[in-house]
Amino acid sequence: MAGGGGEANADNPLPLNVVPLIDVIFCLLLFFMCSFHFKTLEGKMDAWLPQDKGNNKTQVDNKIIGEVRITLEWDRVQLKTLRKFGRTPYDSDEELGQVMRDQFDRNKANGNGEVPVIIQPNTDVPWLDVIHVMDIVHQKNLPKMEFALAKSELVIPEPH
């Protein structure tokens, strides 16, 4: 290693030899530079996934899940609740119940009997009409029922 002596003078009362310190720093720098491994991270991620599954080893199940959603809207002209499955309104309780049962049976035949009946009432629909639809669901022995927000509640109001 490089050597050198230090002499005491008036400005520096203690001689400090910094040459060995610089030699040690350069040795450490050389060690870390040689032991560092560069990795390209772009486009590649380490993942610990199961080895028996992955690309081209499993097939995607293309089950068609038909939603059983009943929307309830208040008709201000006729002063009554419109009960719709999709875009089709149903006045008859029997027709509405049969449409819900048929859609549920189609889902069950496709392997998904867990799809619930979703009731989506608008905010101005009387609760008596919502309860009446719930009774139809119960009469048709449909196992699951859920509620969804009204379409008017899905709109985010503009800030004032």
Give 109-134 pLDDT, tens digit per residue.
888 778 888 888 888 888 899 899 99
Grade residue 59 by pLDDT with cuts at 50, 70 and 90: low
Residues 6+ apart with CB under 8 A from 148: 69, 118, 119, 120
Q: Which ranges of 7-124 does DSSP label H, i.e. alpha helix? A: 19-35, 93-109
* Assigned domain for 77 exists: yes
For residue 131, being part of any structural domain is answered with yes
Q: What is the pLDDT of residue 31?
A: 92
Residue 102, token pair as written in the block = 């048929």
* Cα gap 25→33, rounded to integer Å: 12
Of residues 129 and 61, more confidently modeled: 129
Evaluate if pTM is beyond 0.85.
no
* Domain limits for position 110: 68-152
List, in order, residues 6 or more apart from 108 with CB less than 8 Å away. Answer: none
At 5-51, the pLDDT tens digits run 556 666 767 777 889 999 999 999 999 988 887 766 666 666 666 66
DSSP 159: P
- Between 46 and 108, the more confident residue is 108
pLDDT tens-digit series, residues 65-105: 577 888 899 888 988 999 998 888 888 889 999 999 898 88
Task: Give the number of domains in the chain.
Answer: 1
Strand-pairing partners, residue 117, are 68, 145
Residue 91 sits in a domain whose CATH number is 3.30.420.270
CA distance 5 to 11: 16
Place of tokens 């870390």: 32
Whether residue 31 is contained in a domain is answered as: no
Would the CA dihedral through 110, 112, 113, 117 be positive or negative?
negative
Is residue 28 situated within a structural domain? no
Q: Worst-scoring range by mean pLDDT, 57-61, 67-71, 95-99, 155-159?
A: 57-61
- Asked whether residue 43 is assigned to any structural domain, the reply reads no
